[in-house]
Amino acid sequence: MPYKNIDDVPLPPNPAAAPPPDEVIQTDVAIIGSGMGGGAMAYALKDSGAKVLVIERGHRLPAEPQNSDLDEVYLKGRYKNADTWFNGRTGESFKPGVYYWVGGNTKVYGACLPRFRASDFEETRHAEGISPAWPFSYADLEPYYTRAEKLFKVRGQIGEDPTEPSHSEAYPYPALDHEPAIQALADSLRSQGLHPFRMANGLDADTPEKRALCATSDGAPNEAGLKSDAEKVAIDPALEAGVALMTGAKVTRLVLGADGRTVVAALAERGGKLIRIEAATFILAAGAVNSAALLLRSATGEHPRGLANSSGLVGRNYMVHNSTFFIGINPFKLNRTLWQKTLGLNDWYEAGPSNPYPLGNLQMLGKLRASMLKMARAWVPNPILKAMSDRSIDIYLTTEDLPRRSNGVSVVDGKIHIWWEPNNLEPHAELVRRVRRAVRKAGYPVIFTERMGIETNSHQCGTAVAGRDPRTSVLNPDCRAHDLDNLWVVDSSYFPSSAALNPALTIAANALRVADTILAAGKDAVEVSTHGKQSAKSSPDRENLPDPRHAD
């Protein structure tokens, strides 16, 4: 890379006029992306009376024995299908932690579904700067958290975590209990004066038999369908209600109308053909990096910095979390836990008497196995890795990554470059130190840690920040672009801050909130086809798209 920082990246050349499309499709609402945000939006709009089309660049991930074959998943990368990205500062290529399947990253997530804390929506001072306030409060989002928990069948228990924000209703399902080794860890932490709790989770694993079927499902698909992923709980019910799904279609550009404020079409590549998708309302939910990249790629002579970018903040303020894999080993004790991801600890999540600044969150990883460790330590013989993983407890530590304009996404010669310099690292180091002491007291004297790098970006956010002032934000509080009248963004791009918890449930809850805003706006936002009239051009009906139940 010839550029020292993201500010040196030149504006893209004026794009050539798109060639005539091979096909034109008309719909009322086009949702780009079928992950947590796109899936929740499709579900929320399924009974609106509008023609809704979900556009997904991937296909359906097959339920097959290889879903739980760790060598296939981790060593051979069977389901990793993202493009190669590049480190903007070094030019080195890497395979990002994103997945293009119906359901997006939720097909492989660990189904950890906590709410953000109430303080996460407020301005918070950290060791290395300010985490800005959101343009809406926790109270504004709370009813939608409740709806999202019902939709995703979340299991949890109010009252165990002192930092848990208020709930208007109880969790829809009881929390998953710890297995013996994790219960012993929880008991030790509690004896040390800490407050471990059962983590909110979207996994149907309340019996030993089900847990055995979920044992490898953190970072991998679940063949048994016991994970609350966006395909299962949101997309499929939406299709049953009449929403259409187009798979294998990569959206490459958004097209503006003559007024300069209305998106009139999305151009997509599918099977070697160029498809023009026309709609009254566009919902962008392709992930924080790809959504920003699409807006940048849609630059025109009148909008040389990309669409929705009068603030210059599209692609800026990229955040991912400071994260560490933490392994504690007792050489003399086997850990036979099947599903380990049931315990959380937030004692140092917020500032308090022992920590003047927030430190972050502790949660468990799904039980690590030798194949997973082999990815990071290929030179270590398998028997040693197996002996380690058979005797380990495995933890994921997260500290907030603060927004920085210099951290971001750029598109150079059509390729995605990520500019990321971690910050707020001292609080993360302190979190690791405190957990190390606590885990050793719990009987695990051998500790290994590894901080995650630029390629571990499943918690990406912040690239099209929401706010009240168009000069300092890309989206308004309802996540509609300030500069455009019919474009909303409902993935984690809108996050003003990253918090220090898994973002999935917050993405889903906000998509439900934004859907209510769009529905309330009525025909000004969604052009509902009430009489079933057909255009002279093709429309997303069954003659032009596969049956939505068999969209591939």
| Amino acid in position 73 | V
Q: Which CATH superfamily is domain 22-90+98-550 in?
A: FAD/NAD(P)-binding domain (3.50.50.60)
Decide the pairing of beta strands 392-399 and 361-364: antiparallel
**Residue 273, both tokens:** 């053909």
Mention every residue, 6+ apart, whose C-beta is less than 8 A from residue 523. Answer: none
List alpha helices for 281-332, DSSP H.
Answer: 288-297
**Residue 532, both tokens:** 């079933």
Q: What is the pTM of this model?
A: 0.94
Q: Tell me phi and psi for residue 56, to 5 degrees.
A: -125, 130
Look at the block and give the residue holding tokens 């996460």: 120
Q: What is the overall mean pLDDT for the chain?
A: 93
What are the C-alpha distances in Å from 491 to residues 21, 321, 469? Answer: 28, 16, 20
Q: Which residues pair with 94 in a beta bridge?
A: 85
pLDDT of 443: 98
pLDDT of 234: 98
On the question of pLDDT at 540 being above 70, the answer is no
pLDDT of 381: 87
Domain ranges of the chain: 22-90+98-550
- 35 vs 13 pLDDT, higher one: 35
| 180-191 and 425-441 helices, crossing angle to 10° | 110
Mean pLDDT throughout 207-227? 96
Report helix, strand or coil for 391. Answer: coil
On the question of pLDDT at 32 being above 90, the answer is yes
| Amino acid in position 373 | L
pLDDT in tens, 383-400: 899 999 999 999 999 999
The 8-class DSSP code of residue 161 comes to S
Q: Which residues pair with 441 in a beta bridge?
A: none
**Residue 269, both tokens:** 């590549």
**Residue 471, both tokens:** 């000069």
pLDDT in tens, 257-292: 999 999 999 999 999 999 999 999 999 999 999 999
Mention every residue, 6+ apart, whose C-beta is less than 8 A from residue 230. Answer: 34, 35, 36, 38, 39, 40, 103, 104, 106, 508
Rounded distance between C-alpha atoms, residue 291 and residue 402, angstroms: 20
pLDDT in tens, 302-324: 999 999 999 999 999 999 999 99
Rounded distance between C-alpha atoms, residue 199 and residue 369, angstroms: 22
pLDDT in tens, 59-81: 999 999 999 998 999 989 999 99
100 close to 212: Cβ distance less than 8 angstroms: no
pLDDT of 14: 75
199 close to 180: Cβ distance less than 8 angstroms: no
